[in-house]
Amino acid sequence: MWSLGCVIAELFLGWPLYPGAQEYDQIRYISQTQGLPGEHLLNVGTKTARFFCRESDSPYSAWRLKSTDEHETETGMKSKEARKYIFSCLDDIAHVNLLMNLEGSDLLAEKVDRREFVGLLKRMLWIDAEKRIAPVEALSHSFMSMQHLLDFHIAT
């Protein structure tokens, strides 16, 4: 589901959602857009220490993403910004390439369609695989069935 989510995001955007030649950059993009993985995932992750470190001044066992400088110092590999679109959250995707020549019910239908698309995408890209949408659920999502557009008369 994760891979399919990345593919449909790229088809929609015309550019990879999380590009990057280095794993660190991809993890950084995901964390900046979707937040850090849950502590339970970081605690059991086999590569957690490569990309994250524990907050030393925290009374809790909180993790944080290593800075680009910290990662470069440890690995000797320089981080590079490769994103065309920099999102603070996945909801921002709905605003990319919005057709400005639409009006009335066509514009409203487009916005509703984008909202449903992003809703499905967020469930496909849920960081915790145990909570990610299952294929059978994805197939019955309103974006796939297009049920959300039945109330709109789309001009042809």
Q: pLDDT for 125-139, tens place per residue?
A: 999 999 999 999 999
Tens of pLDDT, residues 22-65: 999 999 999 999 999 999 999 999 999 999 998 776 666 689 99
* pLDDT score for 153: 60
What is the token pair recorded at 28? 């950084």
Residue 154 has pLDDT above 60, yes or no: no
pLDDT at residue 104, rounded to an integer: 79
Q: What are phi and psi of 25, to 5 degrees?
A: -60, -40
Query: 65 phi and psi, to 5 degrees?
Result: -70, 135
Q: Yes or no: say if 87 and 33 are a contact pair by the CB < 8 Å rule.
A: yes
What is the C-alpha separation between 151 and 156, in angstroms, rounded? 15
Answer whether 6's CB lies under 8 Å from 133's CB: no
156 pLDDT more than 70: no
pLDDT given at position 59 = 61
Tens digits of residue pLDDT in 70-127:
999 999 999 989 999 999 999 999 999 887 777 778 888 888 999 999 999 999 999 9
Q: Report whether 154 contacts 109 (CB < 8 A).
A: yes
**Which amino acid belongs to residue 73?**
T
Q: What is the DSSP letter of 91?
A: G
Between strands 63-65 and 52-54, the pairing is: antiparallel
pTM of the model: 0.86
Q: Is the pLDDT of residue 155 over 60?
A: no
If one counts every other C-beta atom within 10 angstroms of the C-beta of residue 17, the result is 24
Mean pLDDT of 130-150: 92
Kind and range of the H or E run holding 54 = strand 52-54
